[in-house]
Every structure is written in C-alpha cells, then in structure tokens.
Homo-oligomer: A and B are copies of this chain.
Amino acid sequence: MPPKTKSKAEQASPTTTADLVELERRFAELADLGQIGSILSWDQQVMMPPGGAGSRATQMATLAGLVHERTTDPKLVALLKRLRAAADGLKPRERRMLHLAAKHVHRSTAIPEEMAREMAELESTSLEAWSKARAENDFKRFAPVLARTVELQREEARLLSGGVGDPYDALLDKYEPDTTGAEIDPLLDELVEITVPLVDRVRRSKVKVDRKPLVNNRFPAEAQRAFVREVVESMGIDLTRGRLDLSTHPFCGGIGPVDVRMTGRYDPRDLRGGLFGAIHEAGHGLYEQGLDPKRARSPLGGAISMGIHESQSRLWENMIGRSKPFWSHFLSKAKKRFPEALTGVKLDGMWRAANALAPSMIRVEADELTYNLHIALRYRIERELISGALAVKDLPARWNDEMQATLGVRPKNDTEGCLQDIHWSMGAFGYFPTYSLGNLYAAQFMVAAREAMPDLDAQVAGGNLLPLRAWLLEKIHRHDRTVTAGQLVKRVTGAKLSVRPFAEYIEAKVTAIYG
C-alpha cells in the first residue's frame, strides 16, 4: 500500500477513480456532439443555402435524439449515483465536476419523453404563431399557445426542482446557475429605482445630442467590415481561432475556445449596429477564446452563466466602446475608413453620439440606461406568469401599464408591446434577467479592473486594449465553470453583486452628457 499522504477527504477508492475517468469520457463525447451542433447551427445561420433548411432540421433532430439518448443512458445515471455516494472522498474540483454533470443529466432525465416531445413540438408551433401574431398585431391568436407554454414551463420547473423552493428558480438555473429569484428581485427593484429618475432627468434635459456622427450618414458596408476587424483584433480577438462573418442576426457561436465564430451585419447608413454589435459579440468571443482548451470537453468547461457571458459583451460594448478614451484613439482610424461621414467630427461629438439616450418601445433598440427597465418589466411579468399571479390574457395590459410607469411611454399596440420578443415563444423563461445581471457584473468587474490598472483609461486612449483583455482572461475567462458566478464575483471584486457600481457609472454618464 502506498503511504497515506492524503487526508481522508481526498482519498478516492480505485472504483471511484475509474468512475471519474468514465464520467469524463462520457462528457467528452457529449461535448463533441455539442460542438458539432454548434457548427451545424452556425452553418445554418451563416452559410447554408435556403434549400438545405428541411434536411438541416432533420440532421439537427437526429443529433438531438442521440444527445438525449447518451445523456439519459441508465449507465450514466448509475455512474452518477455511485459517485454521489462516494462524494465525501472526492476533491473539491471533482465534487464540482460531479455537481455540474449530475445537474446536466438531471435536466434531461427529469422530463418524461412524451413531455419533452410536446415541448419541442409546441416550440415550433409557438414560434410560428408568435411570428404571425406579431406581424398582424393579434395577441389573441398567440395567447392559447403561450398559455400552454407557460403550463409546460411550470410543469418542467416542478419536475426539475422536485417541488422544492420557488419553481421559477429551476427555470432560471438553466441560464444563470446557482442564482435565485429571491437574489435577483431586490437587485432589479433597486435598478429600476435608480433608473427611473435618471430617465426623467434625460427627458427634462435641454441637451439635444446630435446622432449624425453615427446615424443617417454614409458608412459603406465593406469599410465597416474592415474597421470592425481592426477594432476586434485590437481587443485581442484571434482570427486564427475564430471567424467574423455576416448574418441577419449577429451572434457569437463557440465551437470550443479554439474555434469561435462571430457574426455581424452592416447598415450602410448607420454605424451603430455594425460597430457596437461587433464589439459586443467580440466581448463574448474573447470570453470563449479565453476558456481553457484543456477543459473544453469536461463538465467543468464552458461559460459560468449567461449573465457572466453578457457581462463580457456589455463591458466591451458600453464601458469601452462607448467611452471617450476609446474614441480618442479610434476616431482618427474611423475617419480614414469613413471620410465622407466623419470629416469635421470631433471627439466630444462622437462620444455624445455613441451615448445618446432616449426611451424607446423596443428592447433591442434601447439605450444603455433604459435597457434595464425593459428587462425588469419582462422579469417581473415572467415571474408572475410562472407563479400564476398573472394570467396570459392579462399580459398586454400588465405590459403596457409597466411601460408607462417605468419608461413613461405606452405601446400603441401589442406588436410594439408584449409581442416584440422571441424568448417566451421559444419557452425561454428565466433568460431575460441575465441581460441586466450582465450589466451589473460588468460595472462591478470594471471597478475592480480600474483598481488593478489605474492607468486603464490612458492605455485605452493609446489604443492598447490588451492589458484589459489580459486582466479579464486571468480573472474571469480561464476559470471556466470551476466556480459559481457568485464565487467569481466575490473573488474578483471582493464583494457580492450589487447595483451600486452600475448606478454610479450610469449616473456619471447621464450627468456628463445631459447635465
């Protein structure tokens, strides 16, 4: 026998060691299948000719069937059961791996096959019904399908949680693991509280921001692509481990950290979507490229949560891309790319144009300030739909009242109201709050980054974005899912997540621009 140098808590039996190896092998295979799914999905959105749609759906369904079969394999379930029984003998890293693996498997095994099938079928019915209802401003057409979706979401929540705790938490956990509604409620309430008066200040301000440096101007698509490439490469995006393409809906797809595919679209009259969209996706892309390739096939690999992912895109898009230091370096470069549009534009003018604030009906067009009001509204409503406090038929009225109360505007119809988003029609309840969590995480991380790098603004103004990237890599990206979002925030910023950093950041911005 080898000398007993390890404490009992770190002493796994040979069987347990073999079980761990087998667990990693099985998850490596699942990871490969997941990556294959990402390629198919990227190809579908970026490359596939239209005629391929039907056969692609069949390929995806077959792949999903295989993944489900492998994820719910009774041998895997038994393996997890044995490992949980032996969990005391595992190292913390192994316990974390086991926790993530077990949760992943539970999400598939907890749902009976017939219900999973109904959910999948309902999703496509629902997407179609939503799309028609939105086009024809006919909420009543969509209401029955949405009501059934809510019912099934509740049932899913009940099955996932085993009836313990707030059912909403089980849905939220799919997107923001280890975070609860009870934690988010006060954060979003406070966020609304600090935002509403700021929106009011902007509304009453006499300052009119000229958007012309970015909108209703001439930004040829090819010049945008070249400029965007220059910017994202300055951020540290490595295009030997990724691509930048065109697609209708910009996104960032990760096929592991060595192959990250970002997309954008370029409106020749409006630089905002093309540029800030690209910086946003590149923020996601840096996170994906910063994940540890050695963990890419492990349950411990991948992004911690949607909120942490979004923090990386928002940090780069808003806190860097819309900042004065950023433009003090990149304005001259932009002028070379877009001489027709930008001749005579000054740094201050560009910075103001990039930060123009104004309430709008549509979330995806919202500015940095009001965006969180759109999210809080959706979060509150989906909480009530899942708890049963709000009936689907009463959704439009509830939506419009909340818009009036927080943003001070009232939708003329449901198309620009509660029918505007795709999420609920896809059964994605619990997703919305991760957008605002992303803003809060980003602001709190940024305070820590500034403490660590007092000359950060000077670096950015010199065009040197790489020190910030290195800090994010070291502090956030490379840890994958070895810690929870809560643990990460505590470790990186010394405190738990709070609204204050964002509140201070956004108030300073409103004051600087609107007085």
Q: Which A positions have Cβ atoms within 8 angstroms of B?
A: 29, 32-33, 35-36, 39-40, 43, 47-52, 54-56, 58-59, 62-63, 65-66, 238-243, 255-256, 258-259, 293, 296-297
Contact = CB atoms under 8 A, between A and B. Distances in A.
* Residue from the set A58, A59, A238, A241 with the largest chain B CB neighbour count within 10 Å: A59
Contacts of A297: 58
A258 B54 contact: yes
Contact of A238 (B29, B39, B51, B242): B51
Contact of A62 (B32, B48, B65): B32
Given A40-B39, A52-B255, A32 B58 contact: yes
Number of copies: 2
A59 B47 CA distance: 20
B49 A241 contact: yes
A90 to B, nearest CB: 26
A240 B36 contact: no
A49 B242 contact: yes
Contacts of A258: 51-52, 54-55
20 contacts: A29-B62, A29-B65, A32-B59, A32-B62, A33-B62, A36-B62, A39-B39, A47-B243, A48-B259, A49-B240, A50-B240, A51-B240, A51-B241, A51-B258, A52-B256, A52-B259, A55-B256, A55-B258, A55-B293, A56-B259
A29 B240 CA distance: 34
A59 B59 CA distance: 16
A296 B51 CA distance: 14
The 9 closest A-B pairs by CB, nearest first: A52-B259, A51-B241, A32-B62, A51-B258, A55-B256, A32-B59, A51-B240, A50-B240, A55-B258
A326 B4 CA distance: 83
Contacts of A259: 48-49, 51-52, 55-56
B35 A36 contact: no
A29 B33 CA distance: 15
A36 B49 contact: no
A302 B297 CA distance: 34
